[in-house]
Structure 1
Amino acid sequence: MTTQQPGSETAESASSTVRAGELEVGYIDAGSGVPLVLVHGGESDRTAYTTLRTHLGAGIRAISYDQRDSGLTVNPPDPYTAGDLADDLVAFLDALGLESAHLFGTSFGGAVAQHAALRHPERVASLILVATTPSYELGREVIEKLFTMSHEERKKAAPEYFFTPEGQAAMRARPARETLTARTPEQSARRHAAARQHEIRDHLGEIAAPTLIVHGTEDRPAPYEGAVLMEQRMPNARLRPIEGGRHGIGVEFADTIAQWVREYLGVDAA
């Protein structure tokens, strides 16, 4: 059962909730056509893909949802792993009646998508991995620096980590609105603990799903070497670099990435 929120057709007002396993999950389901599930990053929520949605165009059913301790989703106050979040994702597909879907994961959302492809390969039509990593260890120093910041400190620091100088000038209002969401200390602690456990470098060869990797060459939280490693070890992966791109390429280069997604999914131009 879904509950439509009242108000204008902004991302927030178009949100619904659905029961998925033990969770009440907040989500946005827009468009029709090829199902593309948008999996948000560690410090984000379902609204992180506002800019990308404006560029995806017709023929794609774009579905973003709130993971545990994010947005509208209600979950028990128990520890969890990226694998648990992958299981939640499949429960969410069940709730929507989707046998499979293409998964678009950014940052930690890309980690969740990787675990979904390992644990539930039959449910993953393909992967699109953006600014993500096969291992927390590759970006440990930078990630831990961000983890120790307060929400307000992280908002102030985000532009330098997320956007090129040109992007910072063009999108001064976007870092807080589209990449970060406020959480309680307990919620943040659970999510950070899950991120620290992410390590699948030795299992990349087991991910058989067709995979498009999009990565900025100047990404600090998710170093570019991780993207190269994924392309080398995943049997059906292709890497498309964005020269000079940082961790927020999904917002700064949303128009380019959306076009690549359309090409990858075989959706005709709108």
Structure 2
Amino acid sequence: MSSEGFQHVKVGDIDIAYVESGQGEPLVLLHGGESHRGQFDAFRPLLGAGILAISFDQRDTGDTLNGPEPYDIVRQAADCADFLAALGFERAHVMGVSYGGAIAMHLAIHYPQRVASLILSGATPSWTMTESFGDRIVAMGPDARAQFVLDLLLTPEGQANDPQLVADTKRALRGRPVDADARRMTAIQNHDCTARLHEITAPTLVLHGAEDPIVRAQVAELMASEIPGARLVILPRTRHGITFEAREQAARLARDFVLSHAVGTVSTGNGG
């Protein structure tokens, strides 16, 4: 977990831990399934001036506190909508990575008034469109699991040539208790909004790694074709870990997209 200080806000039945940096257009960063808010520690500063970057721990993650009740992705989208309201934002830009992309899509579908623009990174509209590694991952020990996930996120070249990249990526991965893992896995396995992609009205940018072994690039092409007006960017020589291995390019694309759809919601947030 990041050593950076974090804040808490009560949202319905959960207590959400979050961090924020910068000032300007609010951009909520939704982390992946194996990660936590610290996934974006090296990414947020690259967004530059004019953006208030916010990342929070989802249910069963990091320092967020929730009960043992099961939930689905729609419930987590509601968490995000309520989180924005708790911080005083009527609307915000939303970037969802992998699992976080599923939450972001459901947020845009069920709470369109909350989403100023949408960025999907390594996302899929349905669990059925992923290469299934879930059962294998859950059965692995912590070290084997971390390396397996690392290989899905980063190219061999990235791992060999950039020790800091590997360290940053490993730091972003966090183990969970078995019951928490099971709740999150059940939620994502039941995710499917394919038939509703056409309902997304927010300006949308789809970012995807050309060599993503979890969600193939053809899935990104499908999403971009179904979401009205969506822009598609396929990043070469990149796997599932776009915000790690291609973080400078991804941050630049995200920044430009957010500022091109600015809503004038300039704030330092109400949580701190």
TM over 0.5: yes
Aligned counterparts, 1:37-116, within 5 A? 37-116=28-107
Corresponding residue of 2:268 = none
Q: Structure 1: any 5+ residue segments left out of the alignment?
A: 1-9
Q: Give the aligned residue type for 1:189.
A: A
Percentage identity across aligned positions?
A: 41
Q: Give the aligned residue type for 2:259.
A: G
Q: How far, CA to CA, are the matches of 1:110 and 1:149 in structure 2?
A: 25
Q: Please state if 1:209 is matched with 2:198.
A: no
Q: How far, CA to CA, are the matches of 2:4 and 2:166 in structure 1?
A: 24
Q: Give the aligned residue type for 2:177.
A: T
Corresponding residue of 1:3 = none
RMSD of aligned Cα (Å): 1.4
Shift of 1:243: 1.2
Higher relative contact order (CA 8 A, sep 6+): 2
Q: How far, CA to CA, are the matches of 2:251 and 2:112 in structure 1?
A: 24
Shift of 1:140: 4.1
Q: Give the aligned residue type for 1:66.
A: D
Q: Please state if 1:197 is matched with 2:190.
A: yes
Q: Give the aligned residue type for 2:167.
A: A
Aligned counterparts, 1:156-175, within 5 A? 156-169=147-160, 170=162, 171-175=165-169
Question: Is the Cα–Cα contact under 8 Å of residues 163 and 252 in structure 1 kept in the other structure?
Answer: yes
Q: How far, CA to CA, are the matches of 2:245 and 2:50 in structure 1?
A: 23
Q: How far, CA to CA, are the matches of 1:79 and 1:150 in structure 2?
A: 24
SS at structure 2 position matched to 1:235: coil
Q: How far, CA to CA, are the matches of 1:105 and 1:144 in structure 2?
A: 23
Q: TM-score, normalised by structure 1?
A: 0.91
Of 211, 214, 219 in structure 2, the residue corresponding to residue 221 of structure 1 is 214
Judge which range, 47-56 or 106-115, deviates more: 47-56
Corresponding residue of 1:24 = 15
Corresponding residue of 1:183 = 176
Q: How far, CA to CA, are the matches of 1:87 and 1:12 in structure 2?
A: 28
Shift of 1:151: 2.9
May I ask how many residue pairs the two structures share in their alignment?
A: 257
SS at structure 1 position matched to 2:150: helix
SS at structure 1 position matched to 2:52: strand
Change (3 A) 1:122 1:99: same
Q: How far, CA to CA, are the matches of 2:221 and 2:243 in structure 1?
A: 18
Shift of 1:218: 1.1
Shift of 1:103: 0.4
SS at structure 2 position matched to 1:236: coil
* 1:68-90 Cα shifts (integer Å, max 9, x gaps): 00011111101000000000001
SS at structure 1 position matched to 2:149: helix
Q: How far, CA to CA, are the matches of 2:31 and 2:106 in structure 1?
A: 14
Q: How far, CA to CA, are the matches of 1:141 and 1:29 in structure 2?
A: 33
Q: Structure 2: any 5+ residue segments left out of the alignment?
A: 261-272
